[in-house]
């Protein structure tokens, strides 16, 4: 009985954490799920800073429910690593994918469409 109750709590918690991740993604034009010590995360945040993009960084190593959120992100996106980047509600991927988009000239348009960078004035 106690075991079942514990399972119920764990499963309720993962639903809550999963909803929290989805809420963050739907209410911010850019979200970087990150870890403070991760060099790939630092690199992707530096790129966004250089591009003048507004973004929400969620540092999973300092959040109380960070480990649960990382599991929820894995279930949702199939990606276990950080950074885990979302733009305009869409899953982009990690550092490599974000940089590849930038090298193809596709990152700034995505950021612009999402409202994370100002439109260049004519």
Is 12 or 62 the residue whose CB approaches ligand GSH more closely?
A: 62
Identified binder of ligand GSH from the candidate list 38, 53, 73, 87, rule CB under 6 A = 38
CA–CA distance, 50 with 79 (Å, rounded to integer): 25
Whole-number minimum distance, CB 79 to ligand GSH, in Å? 8
Residues in contact with ligand GSH, total (CB under 6 A)? 10
Q: Which position among 92, 95, 107, 116 is part of the footprint of ligand GSH (CB under 6 A)?
A: 95
User: For 92, which DSSP code?
Assistant: E
User: Which one of 18, 22, 40, 51 is in contact with ligand GSH (CB under 6 A)?
Assistant: 40
Tokens of 32: 């970087």
Question: Distance between CA 74 and CA 6 in Å, rounded?
Answer: 22
In angstroms, what is the minimal distance from the CB of 71 to ligand GSH? 10
CB 39 within 8 A of CB 65: no
Q: For residues 120 and 33, is the Cβ–Cβ distance under 8 A?
A: no
Contacts with ligand GSH by CB under 6 A lie at 35, 38-40, 81-83, 94-96
């Amino acid at each position: 009985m106690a075991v079942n109750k514990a399972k119920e709590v764990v499963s309720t918690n993962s639903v809550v954490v999963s909803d929290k991740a989805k809420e963050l993604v739907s209410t911010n034009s850019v979200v970087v799920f990150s870890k403070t010590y991760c060099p790939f995360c630092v690199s992707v945040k530096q790129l966004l800073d250089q591009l003048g993009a507004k973004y929400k960084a969620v540092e999973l190593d300092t959040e109380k429910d960070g480990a649960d959120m990382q599991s929820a992100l894995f279930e949702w996106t199939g990606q276990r690593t950080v950074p885990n980047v979302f733009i305009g509600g869409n899953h982009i991927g990690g550092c490599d994918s974000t940089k590849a988009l930038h090298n193809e000239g596709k990152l700034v348009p995505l950021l612009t469409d999402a409202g994370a960078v100002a439109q260049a004035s004519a």
